[in-house]
Amino acid sequence: MGRTLAEKVWDDHVVTRAEGEPDLLYIDLHLLHEVTSPQAFDGLRKSGRKVRRLDLTLATEDHNTPTLDIDKPIADPVSRVQLETLRANCAEFGVRLHPLGDVEQGVVHVVGPQLGLTQPGTTVVCGDSHTSTHGAFGALAFGIGTSQVEHVLATQTLPMAPFKTMAVTVQGELPAGVTAKDLILAVIARIGTGGGQGHVIEYRGPAIEKLSMEARMTVCNMSIEAGARAGMIAPDETTFAYLKDRPHAPRGADWDAAVAYWRTLRTDDDAVFDREVVIDASELSPFVTWGTNPGQGAPLSAAVPDPASYTDPSERQAAERALEYMGLTVGQPLRDIRVDTVFVGSCTNGRIEDLRAAAEVLRGRSVAEGVRMLVVPGSVRVALQAMAEGLDKVFTESGAEWRHAGCSMCLGMNPDQLAPGERSASTSNRNFEGRQGKGGRTHLVSPQVAAATAVLGHLASPADLITDPALAA
């Protein structure tokens, strides 16, 4: 019987396999950041161990870093200590680090791909659940906890229990104005936050093949929001073209050998997935979340659902709690929801194509009175590219704030946060209670919806800007 893409990559990394034991998997790339690594380095120190493969390890600073006044000392003393701890650990153990202020600094899942380190057929881990992003290249990439970070630092391997495979096949073509973000939000709403549990998802089908690398990263990024171990997309010409000539891409004969190998990384025709979900892309439209988990989403054209419509009692109760927390009423059109803040950025939607999409909507328009809009590039390189294209001017002229690279408002670890009761439209990945700041309310959206929402002050898509008579004039 044939094998799936995930099984092929897994098999190529098995160091030891024995009956009754998890496989020991070799890790090709280990990415570090300041939040989940300090206790791991402490563990190494206590046991007198070293980092086994410094040449397969890279650290960056992202979660705690401010996006304003980055040349000044970090105001929060606890955040400062965490960043200083990473710097001291990297210096002591010899790990390559891109700290705040460095040209290669940025969100860890933006930095790896743009350097060309994330490659097809590799295993990639990081102490961060959104490591699934790297699966867009046909890598087997998954988030790990701090104990596993220490394990990889010490051994460059991980004992891993077997996984199941799931195909999410996206037929047809995404309609104009519908993005990768809308697609993945719709997938999560369909299969649920636990739907992918124990599985590696392979996204496939014509609509996936048409996506750019950055759009594929958006899709794979949120695999964890469906509970999946990882998300993957088979590498193809789009992947190879993206990687060619990146700083760490193979060169010369190595490039040819790599591409020859990468071309073998496709699910065999006779391979069988443990589960298969089929989505028709042509039926999709801009999609937003209304609740407090990423599975609680609906088309922008819909209304806030009635919890009574759920047959499962725990889903019903979760929906009731979510509506109370979010301050929404049953039957309220989603388009009527007014926001205080709009955030464009994160490892989900902080790359150059995302910024271009948001800028395209904002060009010649203004952010609505009383709305704060933050645009935060995913890395310094993305920021430089955006500035070279004049996008920063588009943002600032429309009234948005153009910030320095980092995780920013995706999570409440740095100064960019919602105040209690504040509501955001956010291109990030999690709408959990308090995720963007204590008491904050989050609606997950695409960059295009974020920008249109900023202009109108309520959840909206770019199409609404044209149909609005005040703006069409």
Partner 1 sequence: MEAFTTHTGRAVPLRRSNVDTDQIIPAHWLKKVTRDGFEDGLFEAWRKDAEFVLNRPEHAGATVLVAGPDFGTGSSREHAVWALQNYGFKAVVSARFADIFRGNSLKNGLLTVVLPQETVERLWTLIEHDPTTEVTVDLLARQVRAGSITADFDLDENARQRLLEGLDDIDLTLRREADIAAYEARRPSFKPATAQV
Binding-site residue ranges for [4Fe-4S] cluster: 347, 407, 410
Does residue 48 bind partner 1 (CB under 8 A)?
no
Return the CA Rg of the chain: 22
Question: How many chain residues bind partner 1 (CB under 8 A)?
Answer: 87
Alpha carbons 361 and 353: distance in angstroms, whole number: 13
Does residue 104 bind partner 1 (CB under 8 A)?
no
Alpha carbons 37 and 47: distance in angstroms, whole number: 16
Q: Which listed residue (248, 335, 363, 372) binds partner 1 by CB under 8 A?
A: 248
Does residue 177 bind partner 1 (CB under 8 A)?
no
Of 131, 136, 115, 148, residue with least CA distance to 22: 148
Does residue 384 bind partner 1 (CB under 8 A)?
no
Show the site string, 195-234: x = touches partner 1 by CB under 8 A, - = not: --xx-------------------------xx-x-x-----
Residue 356 CB, nearest distance to partner 1 (Å)?
A: 27
Does residue 20 bind partner 1 (CB under 8 A)?
yes
Of 206, 259, 233, 161, residue with least CA distance to 4: 233
Q: Is 163 helix (H, G, I), strand (E, B) or coil?
A: coil
Nearer to partner 1, 348 or 398 (CB): 348
Nearer to partner 1, 156 or 426 (CB): 156
Query: For partner 1, which stretch binds (CB under 8 A), given 77-85, 183-191, 300-308, 364-372?
Result: 77-85
SS (H, E, C) 336-365: HCECCEEEECHHHHCCHHHHHHHHHHHCCC
Does residue 293 bind partner 1 (CB under 8 A)?
yes
Q: Which listed residue (78, 176, 472, 473) binds partner 1 by CB under 8 A?
A: 78
Residue 64 CB, nearest distance to partner 1 (Å)?
A: 7
Residue 75 CB, nearest distance to partner 1 (Å)?
A: 13
Does residue 127 bind partner 1 (CB under 8 A)?
yes
SS (H, E, C) 234-245: CCCHHHHHHHCC
Q: Which listed residue (3, 70, 93, 155) binds partner 1 by CB under 8 A?
A: 155
Alpha carbons 189 and 211: distance in angstroms, whole number: 21
Count of Cβ atoms closer than 10 Å to residue 76 Cβ: 14
Which amino acid appears at position 417 of this protein? Q
Alpha carbons 99 and 259: distance in angstroms, whole number: 32
Nearer to partner 1, 318 or 394 (CB): 318
Nearer to partner 1, 203 or 262 (CB): 262
Structure tokens given for 147: 């104990």
Contact 248, 259 (CB under 8 A): no
Contact 434, 412 (CB under 8 A): yes
Does residue 21 bind partner 1 (CB under 8 A)?
yes
The vertex-242 CA angle with 5 and 427, nearest 5°, equals 85
Does residue 190 bind partner 1 (CB under 8 A)?
no
Structure tokens given for 128: 């961060």
Residues numbered 322 to 381 that lie near partner 1 (CB under 8 A) are none
Q: Is the dihedral of CA 433, 436, 442, 444 positive or negative?
A: negative
Nearer to partner 1, 198 or 205 (CB): 198
Does residue 99 bind partner 1 (CB under 8 A)?
no
Show the site string, 254-273: x = touches partner 1 by CB under 8 A, - = not: xx-xx--x------------
Strands laid side by side in the 23-26 sheet:
14-16, 23-26, 157-160
Query: For partner 1, which stretch binds (CB under 8 A), given 33-41, 180-188, 281-289, 364-372?
Result: 33-41
Of 59, 62, 40, residue with least CA distance to 411: 62
Nearer to partner 1, 90 or 207 (CB): 90
Does residue 154 bind partner 1 (CB under 8 A)?
yes
Does residue 174 bind partner 1 (CB under 8 A)?
no
Q: Which listed residue (26, 93, 240, 310) binds partner 1 by CB under 8 A?
A: 26
Q: Which residues, in sequence order, are bridge partners of residue 373?
A: 342
Alpha carbons 267 and 271: distance in angstroms, whole number: 7
Nearer to partner 1, 74 or 367 (CB): 74
Q: Which listed residue (3, 87, 321, 338) binds partner 1 by CB under 8 A?
A: 321
Q: Which listed residue (1, 71, 72, 314) binds partner 1 by CB under 8 A?
A: 314
Nearer to partner 1, 79 or 341 (CB): 79
Does residue 412 bind partner 1 (CB under 8 A)?
yes
* DSSP for 424-468, written as a single string: EEESSS---TTTTSTT-EEEE--HHHHHHHHHHSBS--HHHHHH-
Residue 259 CB, nearest distance to partner 1 (Å)?
A: 9
Show the site string, 418-437: x = touches partner 1 by CB under 8 A, - = not: ------------x-xxxx--
Alpha carbons 138 and 6: distance in angstroms, whole number: 8
